[in-house]
A and B are shown apart, each in its own frame.
Chain A
Amino acid sequence: MVIIYFNNEQKEDLQFLQELSFEVGSKIVQVSIDFFKGNYNPKLLQNVSTKLNLPQLKVERCVYALSYLFTESSKLSLSKSDFLESVNAISPTKEIEECLLESYQKNREEMRRILSEMSLKLPSIDSLQWRLDVQISSRRTSNEAKPVYLLKLKTSDNRTVWFQADYNELESMTNQLEIALKESKSQHYKRIKKYIK
Chain B
Amino acid sequence: MELSKTNLNSLSLLKKIPKSVHQELLSLIFGVLLQQADETEIEKSQSLKQIDSTLLKEVFSGLITIVIQAVKANLNAKSLAQFLKDTSAPAEFAGLLVTAYGKTFQKIKEIHLETTGFYLKKLIDINWRMDYIIKSNKIEQIDKPVYFIDLNLQKKDGQIEKLKFSCDTNQLQDLVTTLKDAVLAKKSLK
In the assembled complex, the CB of B157 is this many whole angstroms from the nearest CB of chain A, namely: 15
Contact between B134 and A196 (Cβ–Cβ < 8 Å)?
Answer: yes
Contact between A193 and B121 (Cβ–Cβ < 8 Å)?
Answer: no
Contact between A193 and B132 (Cβ–Cβ < 8 Å)?
Answer: yes
Contact between B128 and A176 (Cβ–Cβ < 8 Å)?
Answer: yes
Q: Which residue of A lies closest to B122 (CB)?
A: A164
Contacts across chains A and B counted by CB atoms under 8 Å: 154
On chain A, the residues within 8 Å of B169 by CB distance are: 181, 184
Contact between A125 and B167 (Cβ–Cβ < 8 Å)?
Answer: yes
Q: Is A174 an interface residue when CB atoms closer than 8 A count as contact?
A: yes
Taken residue by residue from 111 to 145, chain A's Cβ proximity to chain B (1 for < 8 Å, 0 otherwise) reads as 01001101111111100101010100011111100
Which DSSP category, helix, strand, loop or mixed, fits chain B's interface?
mixed
Q: A76 to B142, alpha carbons, bound, how many Å?
A: 10
On chain B, the residues within 8 Å of A115 by CB distance are: 138-139
Q: Is B130 an interface residue when CB atoms closer than 8 A count as contact?
A: yes
Q: Which of A77, A147, A151, A181 contacts B123 (CB 8 A)?
A: A151
Q: Which residue of A lies closest to B115 (CB)?
A: A140
On chain A, the residues within 8 Å of B183 by CB distance are: 167, 170-171, 174
Contact between A121 and B166 (Cβ–Cβ < 8 Å)?
Answer: yes
Q: Is B54 an interface residue when CB atoms closer than 8 A count as contact?
A: no
Interface residues on B, range: 35 or more
Contact between B171 and A125 (Cβ–Cβ < 8 Å)?
Answer: yes
Contact between A167 and B113 (Cβ–Cβ < 8 Å)?
Answer: no
Which residues of chain B in 144-164 are interfacial with respect to chain A, using CB atoms and an 8 Å cutoff? 145, 147-149, 151, 153, 163-164
Contact between A170 and B123 (Cβ–Cβ < 8 Å)?
Answer: yes
Q: A112 to B145, alpha carbons, bound, how many Å?
A: 17
A-side interface residues, number (CB < 8 Å): 56
Taken residue by residue from 140 to 162, chain A's Cβ proximity to chain B (1 for < 8 Å, 0 otherwise) reads as 11110001011101010000011
Q: Which residue of B lies closest to A147 (CB)?
A: B186
Q: A119 to B171, alpha carbons, bound, how many Å?
A: 19
In the assembled complex, the CB of B174 is this many whole angstroms from the nearest CB of chain A, namely: 8
Contact between A132 and B182 (Cβ–Cβ < 8 Å)?
Answer: yes
Q: Which of A116, A141, A177, A193 contacts B175 (CB 8 A)?
A: A177
In the assembled complex, the CB of B123 is this many whole angstroms from the nearest CB of chain A, namely: 4
Q: Which of B121, B136, B137, B176 contacts A162 (CB 8 A)?
A: B121
Q: A187 to B137, alpha carbons, bound, how many Å?
A: 29
Q: A140 to B117, alpha carbons, bound, how many Å?
A: 7
Given the known interface contacts A170-B179, A184-B130, A196-B134, the answer about A75 and B164 at a Cβ–Cβ threshold of 8 Å is no
Given the known interface contacts A130-B182, A141-B113, A163-B120, the answer about A122 and B148 at a Cβ–Cβ threshold of 8 Å is yes
Q: Is B37 an interface residue when CB atoms closer than 8 A count as contact?
A: no
Contact between B179 and A196 (Cβ–Cβ < 8 Å)?
Answer: no
* Residue of B147, B168, B182, B183 ringed by the most chain A CB atoms within 10 A: B182
Contact between B126 and A163 (Cβ–Cβ < 8 Å)?
Answer: no
On chain A, the residues within 8 Å of B113 by CB distance are: 140-141
Given the known interface contacts A115-B139, A173-B179, the answer about A196 and B72 at a Cβ–Cβ threshold of 8 Å is no
Contact between A120 and B136 (Cβ–Cβ < 8 Å)?
Answer: yes
Q: Which of A116, A140, A165, A181 contacts B72 (CB 8 A)?
A: A140
Given the known interface contacts A125-B167, A149-B182, A167-B186, the answer about A143 and B73 at a Cβ–Cβ threshold of 8 Å is yes
Q: A158 to B112, alpha carbons, bound, how many Å?
A: 37
Q: Which residue of A lies closest to B145 (CB)?
A: A184
Q: Which residue of B lies closest to A146 (CB)?
A: B114
Q: A128 to B165, alpha carbons, bound, how many Å?
A: 12
Closest 9 CB pairs of A and B: A165-B123, A115-B139, A122-B166, A174-B179, A119-B136, A163-B121, A143-B74, A180-B128, A130-B182
